[in-house]
Protein backbone atom coordinates (compact mmCIF):
# COMPACT_ATOMS: atom_id res chain seq x y z
CA UNK A 1 0.00 0.00 0.00
CA UNK A 2 1.45 3.36 -1.01
CA UNK A 3 1.25 6.46 1.12
CA UNK A 4 -0.70 9.46 -0.11
CA UNK A 5 1.45 12.12 -1.68
CA UNK A 6 1.30 15.41 0.14
CA UNK A 7 0.12 18.36 -1.94
CA UNK A 8 2.01 21.62 -1.80
CA UNK A 9 0.54 25.02 -2.55
CA UNK A 10 2.22 28.17 -3.83
CA UNK A 11 2.39 31.13 -1.47
CA UNK A 12 0.26 33.19 -3.88
CA UNK A 13 -2.49 30.57 -3.77
CA UNK A 14 -2.48 30.57 0.04
CA UNK A 15 -2.74 34.37 0.14
CA UNK A 16 -5.55 34.41 -2.42
CA UNK A 17 -7.48 31.69 -0.59
CA UNK A 18 -6.99 33.50 2.72
CA UNK A 19 -8.30 36.76 1.32
CA UNK A 20 -11.44 35.01 0.07
CA UNK A 21 -12.22 34.57 3.76
CA UNK A 22 -10.80 37.84 5.10
CA UNK A 23 -12.16 40.23 2.47
CA UNK A 24 -15.58 38.70 1.88
CA UNK A 25 -16.54 37.69 5.41
CA UNK A 26 -17.40 34.17 4.23
CA UNK A 27 -16.68 31.24 6.52
CA UNK A 28 -13.55 29.15 6.31
CA UNK A 29 -15.66 26.04 5.78
CA UNK A 30 -17.52 27.61 2.86
CA UNK A 31 -14.35 28.75 1.08
CA UNK A 32 -12.54 25.47 1.78
CA UNK A 33 -15.43 23.49 0.31
CA UNK A 34 -15.45 25.76 -2.76
CA UNK A 35 -11.70 25.27 -3.28
CA UNK A 36 -11.68 21.57 -2.41
CA UNK A 37 -9.17 21.92 0.43
CA UNK A 38 -9.18 21.01 4.10
CA UNK A 39 -10.80 23.65 6.35
CA UNK A 40 -8.13 23.17 9.02
CA UNK A 41 -5.39 23.93 6.53
CA UNK A 42 -7.21 27.03 5.28
CA UNK A 43 -7.69 28.15 8.87
CA UNK A 44 -3.92 28.11 9.40
CA UNK A 45 -3.40 30.08 6.19
CA UNK A 46 -5.98 32.70 7.24
CA UNK A 47 -4.40 33.06 10.68
CA UNK A 48 -0.94 33.47 9.13
CA UNK A 49 -2.18 36.02 6.59
CA UNK A 50 -3.99 38.08 9.26
CA UNK A 51 -0.77 38.11 11.28
CA UNK A 52 1.28 39.14 8.23
CA UNK A 53 -1.12 41.95 7.31
CA UNK A 54 -1.22 43.14 10.92
CA UNK A 55 2.56 43.21 11.17
CA UNK A 56 2.85 45.16 7.92
CA UNK A 57 0.25 47.68 9.10
CA UNK A 58 2.07 48.12 12.41
CA UNK A 59 5.30 49.06 10.62
CA UNK A 60 3.55 51.18 7.96
CA UNK A 61 4.46 48.82 5.13
CA UNK A 62 2.26 47.37 2.41
CA UNK A 63 1.28 43.76 3.09
> Residue 4 falls within a domain, yes or no?
no
> Residue 3 falls within a domain, yes or no?
no
Quote the number of domains for the chain. Answer: 1
Question: Taking a C-beta distance cutoff of 8 angstroms, is the pair 47, 39 a contact?
Answer: no
> Residue 32 falls within a domain, yes or no?
yes
The tens digit of pLDDT for each residue in 2-42 reads: 677 888 999 999 999 999 999 999 999 999 999 999 999 99
With both helix axes pointing from N to C terminus, report the angle between 39-59 and 11-22 in degrees, rounded to the nearest 10.
Answer: 90
Classify residue 55 as exposed, middle or buried by CB count within 10 Å of its CB (0-12, 13-18, 19+).
Answer: exposed
Domain that holds residue 31: 11-59
Residues 6+ apart with CB under 8 A from 11: none
pTM for the complete prediction? Answer: 0.83
Please tell me the predicted confidence (pLDDT) of residue 5. 82
Q: If you count DSSP H runs as helices and E runs as strands, how many of each does the chain have, helices first? A: 3, 0
> Residue 21 falls within a domain, yes or no?
yes
Q: Which residue has the higher pLDDT, 62 or 14?
A: 14
> Residue 43 falls within a domain, yes or no?
yes
Amino acid sequence: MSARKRRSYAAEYKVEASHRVIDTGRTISEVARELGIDPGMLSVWVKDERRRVGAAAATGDEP
